[in-house]
Amino acid sequence: MTFAQQGSTDEPTFRSSSTSNRTYLETHPEISLRRSQSNRSKDHYHHEEQLVEPKSLPLIHRFVTNWLIMDPVLLQIYQRQLHGTKNYEIEKDPDAKFVFFFGGRLRSIKGKPVNVITGAMIVIPVIIYCIFEAKWQWHHLSPAVVVTFIYIWLLAFCHFWKAATSDAGVLPKNLHIPKSINKEQVENPPDEYFNAITLPSYGSTRDGVVVKYCSTCHIWRPPRTSHCGTCQVCVLNHDHHCVFLNNCVGERNYMYFLWFLLLACVGCIYLLIISIVQLCYYQIGNVADVTSISQSAKHFPLSLFLVVYSILALFYPLLLLAFHLFLTSQNITTREYLNNVYRRKHADFVNVFDTHSIWKNLYINWFGSSRAVSLTFPRNEYQPGDIRYEKIEPLQLFSIEY
């Protein structure tokens, strides 16, 4: 039997399932929650901090390590001062993955900086173009050709930048911590112990939206929210974790991601066309001593390079764009598609977010979604004792056979 909340009633009810298991959330044996069951003081949530004596750092060091590039977990080790600090500077969970830049304005994930390589692959061709090709095209083709390419490229790069460095829709942690855990079981468990709730919907029960409890972040996830194992956070309207952006793609940056794909494809095709035109220009205009395509390639070697580069660079974004055009026409996320449709894990899956109009679905995803505010408010002032930044061990799901 699985506990679940059904229908529109406020009180949770029990729903039988074929597994005959009762699923609860259990604490990890060594967590501080259970130890401090009778005493819900602030110490309740403290983990063993590896703090060393605070050091007074030189200004340039503080500028670089606390403002320009800031790893909040590292800062916790070297600095105990909490007053006057901002939320992005506080992270007492050593497993947290974010590193912040420019005073908490931008963020990325610690580890392999693949987004830097992606950024370099976007920047390198435009540098080559500007140095070697732009002048020739400006004078022989039209200034508009050059200006249009630079404009498309700038748009594409800005969308890449926003998608890679924005908060994807990270939810604050530790909002719904179970209140009573005793001897690894709980009689009359509180709401927090139900591992899934089906929200009411217009059709049959299978049309419902399943809402789950995240045992790592200790929150009830809003609909369409998933936990990202790479970022170690729950992300609103989670689409996928993109290794090329080194960031999750979710509620707050999905539109940037979509437009980046589109603009990257448009930019590649445009570059391909103008480079081919430059290579073939000898047929309509005067190019010194050039009478064949091979001579033209020797005369404009970087045009040939840009033709090859744009064909290779077009391939992956074009595939992704086609896939996301399909997904957005159905208003389904990558995660929902892979979990429920492609793998057919849940044969009775119904996408309740589909408006049944391709154009409406496309509009919602490409134009209609608001960016909304960051739910973690990284640049707000930190309030000492704010439990959202504390380390609390993950709970474990367990089943009891009856």
Report the DSSP beta bridge partners of residue 3: 14
Tokens of 159: 């969308």
Residue 397 Cβ, how far from Zn ion at the closest point, in Å? 13
Q: Is 304 in the site for Zn ion (CB under 5 A)?
A: no
Tokens of 151: 């404009």
Q: In 219-249, which positions are buried (b, 16+ CB within 10 angstroms) versus exposed (e)?
A: bbbeebbbbbeebbbbbbbbbbbbebbbbbb
**Active-site choice (231, 242, 248, 268):** 242
> What is the C-alpha to C-alpha distance for residues 39 and 389, in angstroms, rounded to an integer?
20
Q: How many CA atoms lie within 13 A of 26 on its CB side?
A: 13
Nearer to Zn ion, 32 or 247 (CB): 247
DSSP 8-state symbol, 342: I
Stretch that binds Zn ion, among 50-58, 203-211, 237-245, 261-269 (CB under 5 A): 237-245
Tokens of 16: 């039988």
Residue 376 Cβ, how far from Zn ion at the closest point, in Å? 13
Nearer to Zn ion, 133 or 390 (CB): 390
Sole binder of Zn ion in the list 214, 306, 327, 332 (CB under 5 A)? 214
Q: Is 234 in the site for Zn ion (CB under 5 A)?
A: yes
Q: Is 164 in the site for Zn ion (CB under 5 A)?
A: no
All residues at 6 or more sequence positions from 231 whose CB lies less than 8 Å from its CB, including other chains: 97, 98, 109, 168, 170, 241, 247, 248
Q: How many residues contact Zn ion, by CB under 5 A?
A: 10
Query: Which of 126, 120, 117 has its CA nearest to residue 306?
Result: 126
All residues at 6 or more sequence positions from 184 whose CB lies less than 8 Å from its CB, including other chains: 26, 27, 398
Window 246 to 285, contacts with Zn ion (CB under 5 A): 248
Q: Is 217 in the site for Zn ion (CB under 5 A)?
A: yes
Window 324 to 353, contacts with Zn ion (CB under 5 A): none
Q: Is 174 in the site for Zn ion (CB under 5 A)?
A: no
Residue 308 Cβ, how far from Zn ion at the closest point, in Å? 33
Sole binder of Zn ion in the list 164, 181, 228, 314 (CB under 5 A)? 228
Stretch that binds Zn ion, among 223-231, 300-308, 312-320, 392-400 (CB under 5 A): 223-231
Residue 149 Cβ, how far from Zn ion at the closest point, in Å? 33
Residue 242 is a catalytic residue: yes
Are the beta carbons of 10 and 384 closer than 8 angstroms? no
Q: Just list the catalytic residues.
A: 242
- Residues interacting with Zn ion, by CB under 5 A? 214, 216-217, 227-228, 230-231, 234, 241, 248
